[in-house]
A and B are shown apart, each in its own frame.
Chain A
């Protein structure tokens, strides 16, 4: 593909807003874009292993059809014909939704999740379903039943998780953007590991209808994109009240792209000192410090403060999330739409054997932990205490947001680790979620954006946390920083 002026145009390198521009100027067609992605998938997917289900053949047909309808004036949407990848825990009618589990290996959803409906209403093109840790339980995508996704920056490293397929696919440019879900960091941490942008919206901003539930009071769907503007564009599409999700909030629609002012003068940024202590890698600290200096240069006001509850919140998170999971995963019983054990004597055996044979080790571990903390004698000692800690952290955040517009932290204590390094040590894997979980426990929005690379060239992510429904504030803060450091222009996976 030649650009005007003879310069080679690499379609898959472009952001979605750049693709939109080129479609508008008729430099590209919808079929050009889809074909470029299908070719790129052929070239890269073997290495990256981001997809569980590929829809490339259907995508090319769809692209032709949408191109036709756009030319005839039947479709006018600005995102018509833009491809996307979807994490495999969101229901897609007629297409397998496996949740990365043997339990749902053959499950074909009878309906679309609300977010998928919204994507379809825009006439976007689904390139396929993306890999994830089984039932979104994990931080490396190694717990997928199907495959291990690789980090495009270094194929020996994990992409993070649980939305590792989504983040790796965006980083490898085999999808222009993707949807992920985040229960304790599952959008932000893989985005950090893969050098892309990931936004976890405020709890209630995006409908969870059709998202296979892990921990219902913490789960939230959000965009994983190449840059902040794309995150704002995709959030515009997926946000909004849905009567099918009673926890979705009825608030007026906002155009998030209008919040991107490229100006943080006077913005008050709080730095919680507990996020820079023991356990946070030195190179990560240095990179975040540099980001803080950059914000100062850009005119933001920086102040350190204390959020001393964070270790307790991590403990509280694993209690609450596992308790909710043990209840939510009770529905996988071998009867209606799941795996069923081939040999059984009675109904109880169907339940027990199907669950034991089809859930992976980590899922069983969390069901056992959740059942334990909810069981008689332990409820008050664990579950109730965890819910009280939840109140405490919300109070601490409320107090912080009286003083600050944004709270800035690392997204993860480390960069991406080696495949296999932590998969046999569950507690160590849990402890690495320290920077992200408090955002879910308090129901706040958080965005991860790349802020640098370490000596090995692996990306480092910075997290910006906002008050409830203040996505505009963190998007603008992220955008302003992104425009100043131009990460994408300076660093790329090989």
Chain B
């Protein structure tokens, strides 16, 4: 069970009419009503994310010439490091497909080399 549902649901002791999850049940046939497609389960899918960030350093050609290398660049980069969205249960870009292999955030180091 999602922690968010545990934290915020309708219960007899806390009759919150706008709780995240309606009254609990143990079988789906008890809650046919709640399983309908409705605005209750609808969320804003907008997001803004730091898709990529990169920091690079190119070695000086004078140094490389001795090694007969045309260019050499070392870099560190990242992907999806930061996401801003009102939806918190899972990665919002996955849409309704939240209980699935999650989208990845990546930290990367790499080198680009060119030899003439």
A and B pair up? no
